[in-house]
Amino acid sequence: MKNEFNLAFNEVLEEKQLPKEVILGALESAMVSAYRRAVNASSAQHVEAKVDPETGKVMVFAEKEVVEDVQDERTEVSLQNARKINPTIQLGDMAIVESTPANFGRVAAQTARQVIQQRIREAERSAQMQYFERQLGEIVSGVVQASNPQTTTVGLDMKAEGVMPANQRIPGEKFRVHDRLRAIIMEVKDGSRGPQIILSRAHRNFLRRLLENEVPEIYHGIVEIRAIAREPGQRAKVAVSATQAGVDPVGACVGVKGMRIQAIVKELHDEKIDIIEWNPDPVIYISKAISPARVSGVYLNEAEKTATVVVMEDQLSLAIGRDGQNARLAAKLTSWRIDIKSVVEATSDTLARLQSEPSMRLTADFEKENIIRISEILAKKSEGRPITPEEYTTLAQFVDRVERRSIERQRAEDKVNSEKFAEARAEIPDEAFEQSLDVLGLPEHVFVILTEADFTTAGDLLLAMKLNPDKVLGLSGIGPKAMQGIEKAINDVKLKKELEAPQVAAVVEVAPAAETAPVVESAPAVEVNQVESTVVEVTAPTQPEGVSEAVQAEGAPVPAAAPTEEAAGEATFEELFKLRPETFRPGSEEEDKSDKKGKKGKKSVEYQFDEDRGEVVGRKKHKRGDVDWTGEDW
């Protein structure tokens, strides 16, 4: 038979809904506090308490010093008593011995009551905090305990309380005490009096959780909720898609005769819900998001993420909705800025663009005949005369043709711009986008202006200068003088890079005489004052890099061969002469006169490029008598 302690202990466990270890820990901590207060023990002294859950017996153990003569029983124990617990203990050691005072149970019950209650409350709060943190974003059910215009207090599981602010309630809802309601946990905060749980029925995730509970296909992942736009208590739009072929996502959410969606509508205080099928094509998706209105055309401006929706005049009010609610929810659902126009309004705007914008000139010429017809219909409408359905169809087709041409032209321009961007980006090294603007050495005020305009690297500035210099010039504080400084800084950096690059010098090799081309000499001259000439034919170089073979004629250095006719535009004779002038310099008269010991003087050779023959020819000059070198006798 269980004793009174055991019965009371089990009752506390059931009431507080706490683990057994938590209650025992609270009791033991309370016994330690009671012991310290009863014997006036120091807080530095180690004290433990053990509670038997079956009998309720309490035992206290305290750490004491082993001495021969005990002076203070609170902190000292004799060697004889200490060796009953540990036979190897010595004097001066510390031992943990039982120190339960007489009648400790009654004293502890009176002094430890508040400590036990405090520890149990702390344990309850910790358990509540952990439980509701796991339930964050989930639906919970509770009973209304109190309600006023500002807040509604709801009793939840584990004796916790949730608070629903007025802005998280569905407009028009009124709760009475003891009413049961469902809400999602929006936030859990740790407060001084326990966890603060914020509930919501107006959040869009509340509708998401209701759909998951009511539609098994959503719960099992066969149907996926793509987006939700909601105005609590009035209207909501939900975009769904199927993850398996052959499944109708809209039909699965609506249910047979609308039973599934009606249960959700009733829970949301008769809030209207539009279920639409999600589509990856923005045109189709936006057309369905405008439902229940019928759409004539959707035209996108992807650069600004704006959609122009054209509807018939009888569908205009339905597409916009009360106070713009339908258009507003469609924009939230699709994440596009939606502009809704009637066919007549869209036609007027299109006609004005054709007449005013230069970029629409080609389209205006193409639609020249139709513009007259369209103008007549618009004039008829402005006069208040009725327009036939066929004329409305003509207006819609006109707007569709012009808008599609405009979209195609914009895409072509975007393609050209992207190609220009790619070309400009390819000319700039990747290292430039890793270097700061400091490398350009710009003035301080120019550097600050460019940095504030989001030009963070040198590559960003170089790219902007290549694509659109007017963008930089249009910055506040940047004028023509500053632009000249920016261009000079960029050119200086480029010049520095080119100078630092390794230079590859052209090399002209002089080949041995045996490998040279054959030499054809003219007939020997007999007359005095005649200059003999020798024609030296030099073959074109076979090396791809322009390295030519030299021809040596009678000891005189011979220049490298000139390029062929195909390569004549790449390197001229003058350029080759500048490259190696010592190769093309003729022998001087002093060299001829210096050799007096039977050696022939070196003959002067002049080399020229013969345009008729397409090759370099060398002419030997022999002075006979007093022939003038400046003459034309060769």
3-class SS of residue 169: coil
Please tell me the predicted confidence (pLDDT) of residue 159. Answer: 83
- CA distances to 343, 368, 377 from 360, rounded to whole Å, are 20, 12, 21
% of the chain exceeding 70 in pLDDT: 75
Mean pLDDT of 444-470: 85
Which of 345-354, 559-568, 617-626 shows the highest mean pLDDT?
Answer: 345-354
Please tell me the predicted confidence (pLDDT) of residue 518. Answer: 42
Please tell me the predicted confidence (pLDDT) of residue 396. Answer: 92
Mean pLDDT of 268-294: 93
Placement of tokens 């309630």 in the chain: 169
What is the pLDDT confidence band of residue 251, given thresholds at 50, 70 and 90? very high
Domain residue extents for the chain: 4-118, 135-202, 428-500, 513-621
Domain 135-202 CATH (choose: 3.40.50.620, 2.30.29.30, 2.40.50.140, 3.40.190.10)? 2.40.50.140
Pair of tokens at residue 187 = 């936030």
Least confident of 357-371, 388-402, 546-560: 546-560
Give one word for 454, left, alpha or beta, with left for phi > 0 and alpha for psi -120 to 50: left
Placement of tokens 């030997």 in the chain: 620
Burial class of residue 222, CB neighbours in 10 A (0-12, 13-18, 19+): middle
Q: On the CB side of 524, how many CA atoms lie within 13 Å of its CA? A: 1
DSSP string, 456-468: -BHHHHHHHHHH-
Please tell me the predicted confidence (pLDDT) of residue 534. Answer: 38
Helical segments of 428-537, H only: 444-452, 458-467, 469-473, 480-500
Helical segments of 474-569, H only: 480-500
Please tell me the predicted confidence (pLDDT) of residue 4. Answer: 66
Mean pLDDT of 421-430: 85
Among candidates 299, 281, 310, 308, which has minimal Cα distance to 406? 299
- Helix 480-500 / helix 458-467 crossing angle, nearest 10 deg: 120
Please tell me the predicted confidence (pLDDT) of residue 550. Answer: 37
What is the pLDDT confidence band of residue 209, given thresholds at 50, 70 and 90? very high
Mean pLDDT of 212-228: 93
Mean predicted lDDT score pLDDT of the chain: 78
Spatial neighbors of 516 by CB under 8 A, at least 6 apart, are 538, 549, 550, 551, 552, 558
Among candidates 633, 609, 608, which has minimal Cα distance to 621? 633
What is the pLDDT confidence band of residue 560, given thresholds at 50, 70 and 90? very low
Q: Judge whether 326 and 338 are in contact, CB under 8 Å.
A: no
Pair of tokens at residue 79 = 């060697």
DSSP string, 282-333: HHHHHHHHTTTS--SEEEEETTTTEEEEEE-GGGHHHHH-GGGHHHHHHHHH
- The gap from C-alpha 243 to its chain's centroid, in whole angstroms, comes to 27
The 10s digit of each residue's pLDDT in 154-184 is 999 888 899 999 999 999 888 999 999 999 9
Please tell me the predicted confidence (pLDDT) of residue 618. Answer: 65
Strand ranges (DSSP E) for 166-314? 180-191, 194-200, 223-231, 235-242, 272-277, 297-301, 306-311
pLDDT at 253 over 90: yes
Mean pLDDT of 23-49: 82
pLDDT at 352 over 50: yes
Domain over 428-500 is classified CATH 1.10.150? yes
Pairing of strands 76-78, 151-155: unpaired
- The gap from C-alpha 437 to its chain's centroid, in whole angstroms, comes to 23
- CA distances to 45, 72, 84, 504 from 64, rounded to whole Å, are 8, 10, 14, 91
pLDDT at 194 over 90: no
- CA distances to 5, 166, 230, 235, 268 from 172, rounded to whole Å, are 53, 11, 16, 14, 11
- Residue 612: DSSP 8-state: T
The 10s digit of each residue's pLDDT in 133-161 is 999 999 999 999 999 989 999 999 888 89
pLDDT at 532 over 80: no
Among candidates 437, 454, 448, which has minimal Cα distance to 477? 448
The 10s digit of each residue's pLDDT in 576-592 is 334 444 444 444 444 44
What is the pLDDT confidence band of residue 633, given thresholds at 50, 70 and 90? very low
Q: What's the residue count for the chain?
A: 634
The terminus-to-terminus CA distance of the chain in angstroms comes to: 145
What is the pLDDT confidence band of residue 467, given thresholds at 50, 70 and 90? confident
Please tell me the predicted confidence (pLDDT) of residue 106. Answer: 65
The 10s digit of each residue's pLDDT in 471-511 is 888 888 888 888 888 888 888 776 555 555 554 444 444 44
Please tell me the predicted confidence (pLDDT) of residue 553. Answer: 38
Report the DSSP beta bridge partners of residue 274: 237
Fold of 4-118: N Utilization Substance Protein A; Chain:P; domain 4 (3.30.1480)
- CA distances to 15, 82, 392 from 96, rounded to whole Å, are 36, 9, 100
